[in-house]
Structure 1
Amino acid sequence: MLARKGYAYRLVATLTVVFLSPIVFFGLPTRLAFSEWFIEFEYSRDNFPKDRYGMEEDVRKHLAKLGLRAVLSEEGMEEFKRARLPDGRKAFRYKEIKHMEDVKSLLGFFFPLTYIASAVSLLALLSLRDLRLMGKVLVASSLFSLFLSIGIALFSLINYELAFELFHNYVFDPYSWRFRYTDTLLRIYPMKLWYDGTIFVLISAGILCIASLTVGIFILRYRRSS
């Protein structure tokens, strides 16, 4: 009976680590990308598209950072709602504000989930108390997330606009995130920024997976040699 309980516990712990691993490996780089340094980096690149309607780069970058703060805090959202263009007009329409509120709600769920998944995965891994099994679980979870990231990367490289559309239709109302070319959100966050952000997250996730895989293989080899 005790042996069966031990097996069941190890199985649950193993599955927990494996199936939470994509949340951890994708969630941490996503949180890193939602930072002002990424906006600074994108706007500093020579191939970053200019605004087709002539908005100054400093204004665009200021509003882009304001939008970032809006999806991360209540104070930022209130400031975002009050934002004005240089000519005094409101920077964002109601539909744009509503979408950013939807993004804020999504991130307000996803980022805490990432932190919780990271902690739970670590505890589940350590609870196995068997180096060989821990190594196997690290290898399995790393490969699972790595193959997933490779699949998403290939899909994004083949047709990023379709990948972008499918993702947004899945997490948002299909009509809530489509805007006019003249809307400020599209002017401060061109598709180039989202494409680069996606590539950054996927590459970072791949690096984390490979690092975790390397640790798992090292543990297995160490266990065999001891």
Structure 2
Amino acid sequence: MKRDSMPSRLTKTLKLLITLLTPVLIVLSAARLLATDPYLAFEYGKASFPPDSFGFTDRQRFILASMNVHYVRAHLPDDELSKHNLNGVPVYTSREVSHMADVQAVFQSTLRVWWAAFTLLLLLGFIFWRKREREAFASAIQSGGLFTSGMILSIALLALFAWQFWFNTFHLLFFEPGSWLFSYSDTLIRLFPVEFWFDATLTLSLFSLAGGLLLTFLGGRWRKALKPLQG
């Protein structure tokens, strides 16, 4: 064993932790990128994106969708959306307001998980660096990238070939049964139709897959670069 190096069992445990935390960081980073006005503009600007059948103009639609994103990201009060009116009529039903409060809670929880994963990965990287276990660290990065890529590819394929099952399962994991089901005339469905969520799922998968493959490549290259130094 090299002087100052970590015990083999501890090294393996910390490598496994990095491997498991990597997809958490990558996927949640991609999700944060999608919860932005630029992504809304990109999605709404597609020629294939369905128009609203109940009267919203493109501008009204974008503004309302942007308000929803801001509400979720900025952790605004639960009743914020209930204050929105259009021509004197409330924009959202009470069920929609309640669901968006649930969405906000889930999103804010993912932010806390993101920060926890980011902090832990920085700490683990520092430990490996200080203990001169850089080859093990590079290997962990490569493994994390591979694990992320495989997991995301599986999820994307499931979404492609069994969309309704995937969509229902996702919502059942995070929300009360039935709380996320609305009429086609309800505002949330008009702002975020199923095509939006299908595209968002594939976009998130592409971003995450790209991140996983990049880490796989960088980790592998780093390992090869370190081997001559340790030989």
What interval of TM-score do these two structures reach, taking the shorter chain for normalisation?
over 0.9
Equivalence for 1:91:
91
Report the AA paired with residue 199 of structure 1.
Answer: L
SS in 2 for 1:71: helix
SS in 2 for 1:153: helix
- Alpha-carbon RMSD across the aligned residues, in angstroms, is 1.9
Equivalence for 2:60:
59
Q: Determine the C-alpha separation between the residues in 2 that align with 1:181 and 1:200.
A: 24
Q: Determine the C-alpha separation between the residues in 1 that align with 2:67 and 2:81.
A: 6
**Count of matched residue pairs:** 224
Q: Determine the C-alpha separation between the residues in 2 that align with 1:164 and 1:97.
A: 21
Q: Alpha-carbon deviations, 1:22-59, whole Å to 9, x = none?
A: 21110101011101111111111111100112221111
Equivalence for 1:209:
212
* More divergent stretch after superposition (75-84 vs 43-52): 75-84
Give 1:71 shift. Answer: 1.2
Equivalence for 1:219:
222
Give 1:161 shift. Answer: 2.2
Q: Does residue 187 of the first structure (1) align with residue 161 of the second (2)?
A: no
* More divergent stretch after superposition (66-75 vs 167-176): 66-75
Note if contact 2:26-2:212 (Cα within 8 Å) is conserved in structure 1: yes
Equivalence for 1:30:
31
Equivalence for 1:106:
106
* More divergent stretch after superposition (43-52 vs 96-105): 43-52
Give 1:78 shift. Answer: 4.6
TM-score using structure 1 length? 0.92
- Cα gap change, 1:49/1:172 in structure 2, threshold over 3 Å: closer, same or farther? same
Where in structure 1 do 4 or more consecutive aligned residues deviate above 3 Å?
A: 2-5, 74-79
Q: Determine the C-alpha separation between the residues in 2 that align with 1:25 and 1:73.
A: 21
Give 1:157 shift. Answer: 0.8
Equivalence for 2:203:
200
Equivalence for 1:48:
49
Q: Determine the C-alpha separation between the residues in 2 that align with 1:224 and 1:5.
A: 18
Note if contact 1:126-1:134 (Cα within 8 Å) is conserved in structure 2: no
Structure 2: runs of 5 or more not aligned: none
What percent identity do the matched residue pairs reach? 23
